[in-house]
């Protein structure tokens, strides 16, 4: 079940889970992920109660899952079941969805991904342009995702590695 983005009321602060791939997804991969999540969401529940959820694939690289926890909060077991589905896809397509030791940034209308230590070093050594925008996978609410998922490097978590 996919809830169209237009039905999400921005005043509700849904829980967000961000799964960053290590590379752009192909059209075939997007279709397969979409099919798998369409099949999974109608059965997704927390302690027997259906979760109201939706997803989107942003920048052809980030799987964004939202859960309306005002209705039913996600539980550890429900997150584990979601992770199980995404791990299957991760293994099938070698996406690196669970590799949190990477950084993604946006420059020249393209998402770039580097190992985290290489990214930090490149910033410190001024090997990356100073006008890049950095993605923050730690955003966990819909409002934070909308406002702070992609920020200019100086305003992002990576700003401490400049100058």
Same domain, 9 and 89: yes
Q: What is the pLDDT of residue 163?
A: 77
Same domain, 156 and 128: yes
Q: What is the pLDDT of residue 70?
A: 87
Same domain, 108 and 126: yes
Same domain, 76 and 28: yes
Same domain, 69 and 126: no
Q: How many domains does the chain have?
A: 2
Q: What is the pLDDT of residues 102-141, one digit of tens each?
A: 999 999 999 999 999 999 999 999 999 999 999 999 999 9
d(C-alpha 71, C-alpha 74), whole Å: 10
Same domain, 69 and 18: yes
Q: Which domain holds residue 106?
A: 102-161
Same domain, 68 and 16: yes
Same domain, 89 and 140: no
φ and ψ at 112, to 5 degrees? -115, 145
Strand order in the sheet with 150-152: 110-115, 102-107, 133-135, 150-152
Is residue 5 scored above 90 in pLDDT? no
Q: What's the alpha-carbon Rg for the chain, to the nearest Å? A: 17
Is residue 101 scored above 90 in pLDDT? yes
Closest alpha carbon to 13 in 159, 143, 137, 135 = 143
Same domain, 9 and 82: yes
- From 48, 76, 93, give the residue that closes a domain: 93
């Amino acid at each position: 079940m996919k809830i169209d983005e237009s039905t999400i009321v921005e005043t509700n602060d849904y829980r967000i889970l961000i799964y960053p791939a290590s590379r752009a997804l192909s059209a075939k991969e997007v279709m397969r992920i979409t099919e798998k999540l369409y099949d999974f969401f109608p059965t997704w529940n927390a302690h027997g109660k259906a979760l109201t959820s939706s997803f989107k694939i942003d920048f052809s690289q980030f799987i964004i899952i939202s859960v309306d926890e005002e209705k039913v909060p996600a539980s550890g077991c429900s997150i584990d079941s979601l992770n199980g589905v995404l791990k299957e896809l991760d293994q099938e397509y070698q996406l690196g969805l669970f590799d949190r030791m990477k950084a993604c940034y946006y420059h020249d209308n393209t998402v770039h991904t580097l190992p985290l230590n290489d990214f930090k070093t490149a910033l410190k050594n001024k090997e990356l342009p100073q006008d890049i925008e950095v993605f923050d996978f730690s955003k966990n609410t819909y409002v934070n995702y909308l406002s702070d998922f992609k920020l200019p490097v100086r305003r992002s978590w990576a700003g401490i590695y400049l100058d």
